[in-house]
Amino acid sequence: MGRIRRSGYVVEWFIGDHDPRHIYVYDSKGRFLGRLDLEALVGLEDWSPSDKLVLLIKDLKAEGKL
């Protein structure tokens, strides 16, 4: 399992988790917000991530953290 805390979000992922490759997103108080598909950068299960979160995930991918 991996975890990153940044910009008011906590992002978690599980090594060897099922496809599509995704992350679990929580707010700074630990409340679950939703799952995000890392390839398409869209929310799963009818969840719509904020633009701020999508930019954060793009930055984390560019840094090689995801």
Q: Which structural domain, as residue segments, surrounds residue 18?
A: 2-62
pLDDT for 18 equals 82
Residue-wise pLDDT for 7-65, tens only, equals 999 999 998 888 889 999 999 999 999 999 999 999 999 999 999 999 999 999 999 99
CA distance 63 to 66: 8
pLDDT for 54 equals 96
pLDDT for 19 equals 83
pLDDT for 24 equals 97
Question: 20 is written with which tokens?
Answer: 């599509």
pLDDT for 15 equals 85
Q: Are 45 and 36 in contact (CB under 8 A)?
A: no
pLDDT for 16 equals 82
Q: In the chain, how many domains are there?
A: 1
